[in-house]
């Protein structure tokens, strides 16, 4: 829980920066963009909402939070390929 989690859809950061809060934000927003993202992860937004509404606990939030955390890894693109500086050649002319 060191790095704050950002919404993979709109980039908004939850208050605590936790994936659970981000999931809560997604359910709370519930617009087409957020629904489509959840569906694209192979989940049913409606089913998760129903599950959350009818089942005690945060099961749906936890499920979505895990997906969001995985998405965070994809968002962080590591830059290291261009470490070699081969274009710069010294010419003593
Ligand atoms: Zn969002």
Q: What is the pLDDT of residues 5-20, one digit of tens each?
A: 999 999 999 889 999 9
Kindly report the pTM of this predicted structure: 0.73
- pLDDT single digits (tens) 62-84: 999 999 999 987 655 444 444 44
Please check whether residue 52 is in contact with residue 60, taking contact to mean a CB–CB distance below 8 angstroms.
yes
Helices (H) and strands (E) in the chain, counts: 4, 0
Residue 38 lies in a domain: yes
Using alpha carbons, select from 75, 76, 74, 71 the residue that is nearest to residue 37.
71
Q: Is residue 10 part of a domain?
A: no
Question: Ligand 1 centre from 28 Cα, in Å?
Answer: 9
Write a three-state SS string for 13-46.
Answer: ECCCCCHHHHHHHHHHHCCHHHHHHHHHCCCCHH
CA of 57 to the centre of ligand 1 (A): 22
Which residue segment(s) compose the domain that 43 sits in? 19-75
Q: Could you give the number of structural domains in the chain?
A: 1
39 C-alpha to ligand 1 centroid (Å): 14
């Amino acid at each position: 829980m060191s790095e704050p989690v950002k919404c993979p859809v709109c980039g908004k950061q939850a208050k605590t920066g936790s994936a659970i809060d981000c999931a809560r934000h997604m359910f709370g927003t519930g617009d087409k963009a957020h629904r489509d993202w959840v569906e694209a992860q192979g989940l049913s937004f409606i089913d998760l909402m129903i599950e959350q509404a009818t089942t005690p606990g945060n099961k749906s939030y936890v499920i979505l939070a895990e997906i969001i955390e995985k998405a965070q890894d994809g968002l962080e693109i590591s830059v290291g390929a261009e470490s070699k500086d081969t274009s710069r050649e010294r010419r003593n002319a």
